[in-house]
Amino acid sequence: MNLNKMPTLRIGALETEIPIVQGGMGVGVSLSNLASAVANAGGIGVIATPGIGQFEPDCDTNPKEANKRALQKEIRRAKAQTDGIIGVNVLVALSDFDDLVQCAVDEGVNVLFLGAGLPIGLPKTLPLDRLGELATKLVPIVSSARAAKIVFRSWQKRYNHVPDAVVVEGPLAGGHLGFKKEHIDNPDYALEKILPEVIAVVKLYEEQFNRNIPVIAAGGIFTGADIHKFMQLEVQGVQMGTRFVATYECDASMEFKKAYLNCKKEDIVIIDSPVGLPGRAIRDKFLERISSGVKETFKCPWKCLKSCDFKNVPYCIGLALMNAKKGDLENGFAFAGANAYLVDKIISVKELFETLVGEYMAVAMHQQVGLP
Ligand SMILES: Cc1cc2nc3c(=O)[nH]c(=O)nc-3n(C[C@H](O)[C@H](O)[C@H](O)COP(=O)(O)O)c2cc1C
């Protein structure tokens, strides 16, 4: 099969063979192993920064340095394993957002994805008057046209520059969600509904800055047919998380992956995360314990999230997610997309790409010959 037949995704001078971005997945779920495998398969592989330093020996005593060192190591490891496109995902909600952004830029990653909060301002250490010359492309993740408008307007005003691309994450995604709880199941907020609204905002800036600003759709995209459907809605690429968890190369433990294999539709629930946003996860004993009102005892070494009310939250989300990544689901939980219950086997990243491309091409060919 000619894998080049899918449209490519262009972000500035970068061009992927396959228009698939592997979504950044903290804590430790997408590191250099998964990211390099995705980049080698022709997509954009993304290292997630949340909790990345928790695997360093000095994570409690020197957390900011531990995070930077771990990120640097993971970027270098990924680059040693691929010549493909590597991205880094940084949450705006992280207390060391600025340091991690700067570190990723210094290490020369190709793309920075900025999620969980609106990146209205960028670190002052970046060359803010020459953002267009940065080799690292800057891509915010938004969940509404309003959010896109705020970010684009702010960057235009402050930096006379706008994002190089934008990810639009809908309410079926895994992890933290940029929606109010009551909007998650409301069809007015479905990805298909918010995408054209964001695209309309982006178009205004494309005209003004006279350049292409690709839109990437995320949340609930599971098959090649899903990819095809969204590519018909004028997006240039898709971002997927859940499918990449169920791969051999994913950096999480086998127990974490098995939670995906074993879950049923009704096990996938919306939780209130200490980040201050709702999140989608697989219900387990830990989450049941928390929802019954139990408050875990934990020590917070440094308030890793700007908004965390660490004295009052019932558990430390960094710790719970790290436990889950390591396979201790008695003391943690797995974030997952709404379609995680459809996962029925672990496969390689290469096999996943071949399946998705095959499914995409089948729909495209049907359409070409005018079959229903
Ligand atoms: C286990 C897991 C962890 C995630 N962690 C992050 C994260 O650290 N930062 C982020 O921006 N998005 C995170 N996400 C969202 C993904 O990057 C992606 O956008 C989303 O999962 C897409 O929806 P899908 O899982 O239905 O494909 C996470 C998702 C999952 C499943």
Nearest atom of ligand 1 to the alpha carbon of 23: 17
- pLDDT by residue (tens digit) across 25-53? 999 999 999 999 999 999 999 999 999 99
pLDDT band at 3 (very low <50, low <70, confident <90, very high): very low
Do 332 and 324 contact (CB within 8 A), yes or no?
yes
Query: What CA–CA distance (Å, rounded) separates 311 from 313?
Result: 6
Q: What is the pLDDT of residues 285-329, one digit of tens each?
A: 999 999 999 999 898 888 998 888 888 999 999 999 999 999 999
Say if CB 61 and CB 84 are below 8 A apart.
no
3-state secondary structure of 58: coil
Closest C-alpha among 128, 40, 123, 129 to residue 84: 40
| 167 CA closest ligand 1 atom index | 19
| pLDDT at residue 274, rounded to an integer | 82
Distance 362 CA to ligand 1 centre (A): 27
- Taking the centre of ligand 1 as the mean of its atom positions, its distance from the CA of residue 154, in whole angstroms, is 25
Please count the other Cβ atoms lying within 10 Å of the Cβ belonging to residue 192.
12
* Ligand 1 first shell, C-beta below 6 A: 23-26, 29, 48, 50, 89, 91, 115-116, 141, 169, 172-175, 218-221, 239-242, 245, 335-337, 339
Q: Tell if the pTM clears 0.95, that is, is over it.
A: yes
Give the number of the atom of ligand 1 that is nearest the alpha carbon of residue 50: 8
Three-class SS state of 105: helix
pLDDT of the residue at 87: 98
CA atoms within 13 Å, Cβ hemisphere of 79? 13
pLDDT in tens, 196-253: 999 999 999 999 999 999 999 999 999 999 999 999 999 999 999 999 999 999 999 9
Helix, strand, coil % in the chain, rounded to nearest 5: 40, 15, 40
Closest ligand 1 atom to Cα of 243: 27
Mutate to test the pocket of ligand 1, among 226, 245, 260, 335 (most ligand atoms within 8 A of CB): 335
Measured between its terminal Cα atoms, the distance across the chain in Å is 23
Answer for the pair 279, 335: CB distance below 8 angstroms, yes or no. yes
Q: Where are the beta strands (DSSP E) in the chain?
A: 9-11, 14-16, 20-22, 44-48, 85-91, 111-115, 137-142, 166-169, 175-176, 215-218, 237-240, 268-272, 278-282
pLDDT for position 300:
86
